[in-house]
């Protein structure tokens, strides 16, 4: 259905991509931190928050961190990644997935996506590992991302990595609460990381968590995240550490957010289903595919456009949606095509064809996906996209 002038006028609030959604109980836990004067990067809120993540995900141990990026950095350190080592990473992701590789002076090889999940292609990974083995330079880790909440083909990827003896770090920053064959995203690899940045499915304003198969690794993570302070009566240091622990004040927000995680997931899944239902008759729009045996938290609802039919790029659509007060965003620009990673090796899904992640970047768009969107706002967005796609490239939508 099309938007009317009246509907555009009546919508006097910007509709954003993904905003924090508080439950109201956060203040109680923050107050507790103040009442007990635990205003520090440790304390009861941190312990409780970690306990809740552990219970929810089934991970064997958890370390809350100051960010998701810090958690990736810690995981790479624990796998003893250093200068001149190699690490493989998904290309189709936010740059935070790969930055910690460079913090440690290591080299990176990027791996393409495959079309069914938009995540790491098992066949490209297999080829990259076979080549690396020939060159006697197997990676110290493979960082696998679950984009927009959609699980990668994790069974296949795990089997391939195991056959080469290479550990996995799952970047589950966007996929907390998603499952694959009933198992929680982030718990398949040797390490998993979550992010609680302001735009994520739940938030502590800024923060993250590291989980690991081996609880001893989490003990070491806590050690490294608190300046690698040895047990002694004075300050004794045998290694270089970091200041990466989560604040007890922010963990109070996290405690309350964990209590509503299931509601937040249900709301975002509902957004995706609503859009899918509204646009099923629009041939130019395809929803992000869903992998069998997996449940996505649908952190962001993403689509691809048939840009030959629309005669509009995602940037054109983004600009027109903006005119209607709606924030949308093109998909992640592949990291192998970022200037900062120029001349970095990259393995395509099918050799010699346009990379899958490049195609997706050319065609894709993320839509408003917050768990706090109202039914009215969802309807407005769905009508807006339909309206925008009916205008031609030069047309002005606000004049409808
Ligand atoms: C948000 C995000 C991160 C980084 O998390 P921060 O908490 O912002 O450091 C890492 N990887 C992906 C895929 C993300 O979306």
- pLDDT digits over 192-208, tens only? 999 999 999 999 999 99
What is the signed CA dihedral for 145, 151, 152, 154, rounded to 10 degrees?
110
Closest C-alpha among 251, 223, 270, 285 to residue 378 = 270
Q: Using the atom order of ligand 1, give the atom closest to the CA of residue 147.
A: 13
Q: Tokens in use for 24?
A: 């109201």
Ligand 1 centre and the CA of 400: distance in Å?
39
Token match 């962001």: residue?
A: 300
197 in contact with ligand 1, CB cutoff 6 A: yes
Beta bridge partners of 143: 89, 169
Tens digits of residue pLDDT in 82-112: 999 999 999 999 999 999 999 999 999 999 9
Q: How confident is the model at residue 1 (pLDDT cuts 50, 70, 90)?
A: confident
Percent of the chain scored above 90 by pLDDT? 92
Token match 């050319």: residue?
A: 362
Q: Output the pLDDT for position 2.
A: 86
Q: How confident is the model at residue 254 (pLDDT cuts 50, 70, 90)?
A: very high
- Whose alpha carbon is nearest atom 11 of ligand 1? 97
More confident residue, 400 or 188: 188
Q: Output the pLDDT for position 394.
A: 59
pLDDT at residue 395 tops 80: no
Token match 């350190």: residue?
A: 77
Ligand 1 centre and the CA of 139: distance in Å?
22
Ligand 1 centre and the CA of 73: distance in Å?
12
Ligand 1 centre and the CA of 233: distance in Å?
37
**CA end-to-end distance (rounded Å), the chain:** 13
Q: E strand or H helix at 21, and its extent?
A: none
366 in contact with ligand 1, CB cutoff 6 A: no
Q: How many whole angstroms separate alpha carbon 16 and alpha carbon 312?
A: 22
Ramachandran quadrant class, 231 (left: phi over 0; alpha: psi -120 to 50; beta: rest): beta
195 in contact with ligand 1, CB cutoff 6 A: yes
173 in contact with ligand 1, CB cutoff 6 A: yes
Closest C-alpha among 281, 327, 321, 288 to residue 304 = 288
Q: How many whole angstroms separate alpha carbon 113 and alpha carbon 116?
A: 9
Token match 């189709």: residue?
A: 92
Closest C-alpha among 187, 298, 299, 208 to residue 251 = 208
Q: E strand or H helix at 70, and its extent?
A: helix 68-78
Q: How many whole angstroms separate alpha carbon 46 and alpha carbon 33?
A: 10
What's the pTM? 0.96
The dihedrals phi and psi of 151, each to the nearest 5 degrees, come to -65, 140
Q: How confident is the model at residue 398 (pLDDT cuts 50, 70, 90)?
A: low
Indicate the top mutation candidate among 68, 89, 300, 333 to test ligand 1's pocket, ranked by most ligand atoms within 8 A of CB. Answer: 68
94 in contact with ligand 1, CB cutoff 6 A: yes
Q: Output the pLDDT for position 315.
A: 96
Are 223 and 229 spatial neighbours (Cβ–Cβ below 8 Å)? yes
331 in contact with ligand 1, CB cutoff 6 A: no
Lowest-confidence range among 83-97, 288-302, 328-342, 382-396?
Answer: 382-396
Ligand 1 centre and the CA of 200: distance in Å?
8
Are 388 and 320 spatial neighbours (Cβ–Cβ below 8 Å)? yes
The dihedrals phi and psi of 176, each to the nearest 5 degrees, come to -60, 130
334 in contact with ligand 1, CB cutoff 6 A: no
Q: How many whole angstroms separate alpha carbon 231 and alpha carbon 355?
A: 51
Tell me the three state secondary structure of residue 305.
Answer: strand
Return the DSSP state at 390: H
Are 139 and 80 spatial neighbours (Cβ–Cβ below 8 Å)? no
Ligand 1 centre and the CA of 9: distance in Å?
36
Q: E strand or H helix at 333, and its extent?
A: none
171 in contact with ligand 1, CB cutoff 6 A: yes
Q: Render the burial of 33-68: b for 16+ CB within 10 Å, e for the rest.
A: beeeebeebbbbbbebbbebbbeebebebbbbbbbb
Q: How many whole angstroms separate alpha carbon 145 and alpha carbon 88?
A: 11
Tens digits of residue pLDDT in 305-357: 998 888 899 999 999 999 999 999 999 999 999 999 999 999 999 998 999 99
Q: Tokens in use for 118?
A: 């938009």
296 in contact with ligand 1, CB cutoff 6 A: no
Return the DSSP state at 42: -
Tens digits of residue pLDDT in 7-66: 998 998 899 999 999 999 999 999 999 999 998 888 999 999 999 999 999 999 999 999
Tell me the three state secondary structure of residue 353.
Answer: coil
Ligand 1 centre and the CA of 235: distance in Å?
32
Ligand 1 centre and the CA of 89: distance in Å?
14
Tell me the three state secondary structure of residue 5.
Answer: helix
């Amino acid at each position: 259905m099309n938007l009317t002038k009246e509907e555009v006028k009546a919508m006097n609030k910007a509709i954003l991509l993904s905003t924090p959604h508080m439950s109201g109980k956060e203040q109680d836990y923050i107050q507790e931190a103040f009442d007990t004067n635990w205003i520090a990067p440790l304390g009861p809120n941190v312990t409780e928050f970690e306990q809740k993540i552990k219970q929810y995900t089934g991970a064997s141990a958890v370390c809350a961190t100051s960010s998701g990026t810090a958690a990736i950095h810690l995981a790479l350190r624990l796998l003893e990644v250093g200068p001149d080592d190699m690490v493989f990473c998904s290309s189709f992701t936010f740059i935070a997935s790969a930055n910690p590789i460079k913090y440690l002076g290591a080299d990176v090889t990027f791996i393409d996506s495959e079309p069914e999940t938009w995540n790491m292609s098992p066949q490209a990974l297999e080829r990259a590992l076979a080549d690396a083995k020939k060159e006697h330079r197997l990676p110290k880790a493979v960082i696998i991302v679950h984009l927009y909440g959609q699980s990668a083909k994790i069974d296949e990827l795990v089997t391939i990595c195991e056959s080469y003896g290479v550990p996995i770090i799952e970047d589950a920053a966007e996929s907390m609460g998603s499952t694959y064959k009933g198992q929680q995203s982030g718990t398949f690899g040797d390490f998993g990381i979550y992010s609680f940045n302001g735009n994520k499915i739940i938030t502590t304003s800024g923060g993250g968590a590291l989980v690991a198969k081996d609880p001893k690794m989490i003990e070491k993570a806590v050690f490294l995240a608190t300046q690698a302070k040895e047990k002694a009566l004075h300050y004794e240091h045998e290694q270089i550490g970091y200041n990466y622990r989560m604040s007890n004040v922010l963990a109070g927000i996290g405690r309350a957010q964990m209590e509503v995680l299931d509601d937040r997931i249900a709301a975002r899944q509902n957004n995706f289903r609503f859009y899918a239902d509204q646009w099923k008759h629009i041939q130019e729009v395809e929803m992000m595919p869903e992998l069998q045996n997996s449940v996505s938290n649908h952190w962001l609802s993403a689509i691809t456009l048939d840009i030959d039919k629309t005669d509009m790029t995602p940037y054109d659509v983004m600009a027109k949606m903006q005119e209607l007060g709606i924030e949308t965003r093109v998909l992640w620009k592949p990291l192998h095509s970022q200037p900062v990673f120029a001349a970095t090796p990259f393995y395509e899904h099918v050799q010699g064809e346009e990379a899958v992640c490049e195609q997706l970047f050319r065609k894709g768009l993320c839509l408003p996906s917050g768990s706090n969107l109202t039914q009215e706002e969802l309807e407005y967005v769905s009508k807006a996209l339909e309206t925008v796609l009916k205008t031609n490239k030069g047309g002005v939508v606000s004049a409808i």
